[in-house]
Structure 1
Amino acid sequence: MSKPSAQTIFAESFFRVNAELFAPFLAEAGLDERILHTPDVEIPAANYVELWEILGRRVDASIGLRIGIQTVSTALGAYGQAIRSAPTMLLALRCMSHFAVVLAHAIRVDFEIDGGQVILSYQCTDPTITRRHQDSEFTIGFFLSLLREITENPRLTPQRADFEHERPTDWSLHRDVLACPLHFKQSDNRLYFPIELLEMPVRTADPRLFQALEPFLEQQRQIRAPVGDLLAELGRHIASSLSSGGASLEMVAQSMGLGPRTLQRRLAEHQVEFRLLVEDVRRSLAEAYVAQDHYSLTEVALLLGYAECSSFSRAFRRWTQVSPQQYRLQAKANLA
């Protein structure tokens, strides 16, 4: 397995349950079979999302939504157990949002009450993860599955669903599963429910178990949230600084309103090396830009802070073992 990054997701029993589906594609996503058998292993978030994209290309263009709607709370460890044991729907929704970082970094889960609706939203917050269609659909599908599970109402449907990506060529599964107006190319991934959702009983509630799990999850949240928040902010600032000629620690610290020594100290606290983080951001953005036709390779090189296209090409070959031109052709072939 590739060396875990600081932004991770726990395998829990989800990977064991879906071992037959995931196993053939783990190596291609930079993962190994240990994640199928070890619930507490941490998977780099970027590799996890890439695994979903590979499945979308190789297995089923709607695989994220298809697996999401089949996933049950117990597959996601203490996070899922706390949600299903919450005494009220309001507490269940709060758990989904507040403790999401315990399960995974680089994500945002929110719920709000607005205009007589309950809105549950999700987004991957890592700026270097640009291809995340399947991850978004898996999570939206899982949220709906979870709400149906805890209310024991398999017919529970949202009033509306939003997705941040473009509408798939075949979206029949989306219509069948969600059974509501669907909107694509939105600013976020959202499910909208009537306010009456808050009055629905949680039929899987177990107040004593919830009381035992909540302090543990809060402790874990306080451990995991700082590194997740810091790295998400750093990733955004590094990405925006690259096109200005590179992302030095001094430049990024200044854009964050910090002194270089303060930033260095915060990174050291989380055992994160700035140079390697810049390399990860640059590589992830390079793969995303090259895979699309929106930019010429010269423009990609400039966006990533390279003065010459040849320097970028050498770095890209070092990262991927193929040239940018070959990578772009492979990406097109995968989408065909």
Structure 2
Amino acid sequence: MGYVTSLFARKMVAAAGDGIDASTLLAVVGIDPDGPWAPKAMIPAAAYYDMLERIARQIDATDLPVRVGATMRLDEYGALGLAFKAATTLGASYARVERYARLWTSVVEYELRPDPRGTIFILHRPGERRLGMRLSNEATLASAISIARQVSPVPVAPLEVLIRHPAPASIKAHEDWFGCPVRFGSDLDAILFSRETLAQPNILGDVGISSFLVSHLDKELSEIADEAPLVTDTKDAIAQALSEGAPKMADIARGLGLSARSFHRRLSEHGMSFQTLTEETRRELAEGLLCDEGHSLAEIAFLTGFAEQSSFTRAFKRWVGMTPASYRKGRGRL
């Protein structure tokens, strides 16, 4: 099952305006309407498409993807957004998207392909081309132009935009936004840029900062290659909460922008339970802290969410088959 960031769903609902029941739509896809906007919280792509189709039944969604694309801001994309800004040229910025988009979605891949007229930035999204997917593709292409205009010192307008599905009744909003012909019914979902446009230096391009951010993104990418983003984010949230005691599932779900029910279901889809992840996080954190002689056993017990050192000792022995003191000694720390 593919996933997309919950940021996209929140943006779509916000742009749809008063003609929809925003809270209900978000809750249906497992997002807590009153929770924080947590871009790393992922939702199933199929549920996202369902939500877009619900919106389209309630309002005229012809220009909704364009309006959503126009609201996207690089600051909302975390390290990937910063890396896009710091790249030296617009072409280098799009190369970052091509490589690191997996941090935001597991259902879309991007490709930069040479063309006699310049370079084509292609969106690849497999699956049934249902209405929800079509609206999502249009919004993604609109977003790609929005973020380009945020880094370029000159106006950015592609040579043309290609969209595979048939055109809506009016494409005026699309052509006004992109500033070029928009050709529906094409063979690709893509944006064609001139060589000059992609060679344009970015406003905040910086080689040193760019290298640092790329290293960070490489690390993130290697981590999600083995673990689902939701699992990684859950373990991070648990680790941060442990000093206050064993965290509650509802609190962690809320912090990730999900309802408790959706959070439980999503973890189950990955073969995980909240209790299992809590135990894993405690064990991994304890093992790491025991390698640092600067922490006493009592401090480690506290940092891993135990009220008493004796409880921590019993749990650790259950996890690894030896006491914390023996583990530390075996690691050569005492």
> Which TM-score bucket, shorter chain as reference?
0.5 to 0.7
Post-superposition offset of 1:35 = 6.2
**1:34 CA drift (Å):** 6.3
Q: Contact 2:119–2:192 (CA<8 Å) still a contact in 1?
A: yes
Which AA in structure 1 matches 2:176? D
Q: Give 2:105's aligned amino acid.
A: A
Residues 105-254 of structure 1: matches in 2 within 5 Å?
Answer: 105-125=106-126, 127=127, 130-131=130-131, 132-153=133-154, 155-225=155-225
CA contact (8 A) 1:166 1:184 kept: yes
Q: Describe the shift of the 1:139–1:192 C-alpha distance in structure 2 as closer, same or farther (beyond 3 A).
A: same
Q: Is the 8 A contact 1:65 1:134 kept in 2?
A: no
Q: Which residue of 2 aligns with 1:26?
A: 26
Q: CA deviation at 1:222?
A: 2.8
Once the two structures are superposed, the pairs formed by residues 1-336 of structure 1 within 5 Å of their partners are: 7-11=2-6, 15=10, 19=14, 22-29=22-29, 31-33=31-33, 36-59=36-59, 60-125=61-126, 127=127, 130-131=130-131, 132-153=133-154, 155-225=155-225, 271=270
In 1, distance between residues paired with 2:214 and 2:124? 24
> Deviations along 1:91-147, whole A, 9 cap, x unmatched?
21210111011111111111122213111111322x256331110111110111111
- Conserved? CA contact 1:101–1:221, under 8 Å: yes
Aligned 8 A contact 1:111 1:118 in 2:
yes
Aligned residues: 225
1:279: which partner in 2? none
Percent identity between the two aligned chains = 20
Q: Secondary structure at the match of 1:110?
A: strand
What whole-Å deviation, never above 9, does each CA across 1:274-330 have from its counterpart, x for those lacking one? xxxxxxxxxxxxxxxxxxxxxxxxxxxxxxxxxxxxxxxxxxxxxxxxxxxxxxxxx
What TM-score, normalized to structure 2?
0.59
* Amino acid in the other structure paired with 1:130: R
Runs (5+) with no aligned partner, structure 2: 229-268, 273-334
Q: How far is the alpha carbon of 1:87 from its aligned partner? A: 2.2
1:63-109 residue CA offsets vs partner (Å, 9 max, x unmatched): 11211023121122222221112123332121011101111111111
Q: 1:114 to 1:10 in 2, by over 3 A?
A: same
Could you tell me which amino acid in structure 2 is paired with residue 222 of structure 1?
Answer: S
The two structures, once aligned, show a CA RMSD in angstroms of 3.0
| Mapped contact 1:29–1:54 kept (Cα < 8 A) | no
Q: What residue in structure 1 maps to residue 237 of structure 2?
A: none
3-state secondary structure, aligned to 1:191: strand
Counterpart of 1:99 in 2: which secondary structure? Answer: helix
CA shift for structure 1 position 193: 1.2
Distance 2:87 2:150 in 1: 13
> Are 1:87 and 1:202, in contact at CA under 8 Å, matched by a contact in 2?
yes
What is the DSSP-based 3-state SS (H/G/I as helix, E as strand, rest coil) of the residue aligned with 1:201?
coil
What is the SS of the residue equivalent to 1:170?
coil
Equivalent residue letter for 1:25: L
**What runs of 5+ residues in structure 1 fail to find an aligned partner?**
1-5, 229-269, 274-336
Give the Cα–Cα distance (whole angstroms) in 2 for the partners of residues 183 and 157 of structure 1. 15
For 1:198, the aligned partner's letter is L
Question: CA separation of 1:92/1:104 partners in 2, compared to 1, >3 Å: closer, same or farther?
Answer: same
Higher alpha-carbon deviation: 78-87 or 25-34: 25-34
Q: Kindly provide the amino acid, as one letter, of the partner of residue 168 in structure 2.
A: P
Residue 16 of structure 1 contacts residue 36 of structure 1 at CA under 8 Å; is this kept in 2?
no
Is the CA contact (8 Å cut-off) linking 1:161 and 1:181 kept in structure 2?
yes
- Shifted more, 67-76 versus 36-45: the winner is 36-45
Moved more, 38-47 or 66-75: 38-47
